Structure 1
Amino acid sequence: MHVQPYLNFNGRCEEALTFYREALGAEVTALMRFGESPEPCPGMPAGTENKVMHSALKIGESTVMASDCECRGAPNFQGVSLALSPATTAAAEKAFAALAAGGQVHMPLGPTFWSPCFGVVADKFGVSWMVSVPA
């Protein structure tokens, strides 16, 4: 069994994929648009043919899946954080700064009893990231 996060960007998925490629060096390993579906997607608003039906994004050794889902408004990511574990403090600082661009820092990077460098940031899409260098 394997658990993977699946993020719904509600119309901003392609923008998010580009952001994570630039911010984290992520790689898009799969991308399918609604217009490429072999069957119509019920309930989709007109003009969403080029929106992302499904994508997979490789970040380090992990895969995060993402979609535009129903394309009905702003994304809403509450109660969930993605944990990012860069190997070094320098890598954590770089990733944190990139994720914070246009977002909101909830806890600045700093040492904790469990990590030499830990911080929490919500990126410009509202996705919460806990950045933590392993002790």
Structure 2
Amino acid sequence: MSITTTLHVNLRGQAAEALSFYHSVFGGDMVAVPYGDTDSGQAPGQAEQIVWGEVRSPDGFHVMAYDIQESLPYAAGENAFYLSLRSEDVELIQRVGGALAASEGATVHVPFGPSMFSPLYGKLTDRFGVTWIIDVIVPWQTGA
């Protein structure tokens, strides 16, 4: 199995617009899942905002994006990106995610475990200030 890294863009209320724009430029497939389609418990005003989205083109372009929860601080351009580390291989994600989480100076924001969109998901910031979103890839099921 392989592992990939992908740029993950963090926005406030503009993720759908950004994903649509990147899709218009690069083509391919686009997925945009609103908070309202999940059991994320976000504020009602955020139901149409994007909890998870991506554009993936046949020529290799891939970007992910989401709208930062209203309960979290946000300043445009600050912490604008995460590095997304993904694989279909659960053991590989456990190994590398565990090593990053256990490394000196790492701060774990979301401990590794099941989420609404992945059987294994975690979020951490390493000692260099890089925030990692780490998960096992599964296809999104509409209405699941």
**TM-score for the superposition, normalised by structure 1:** 0.46
- Bigger radius of gyration: 1
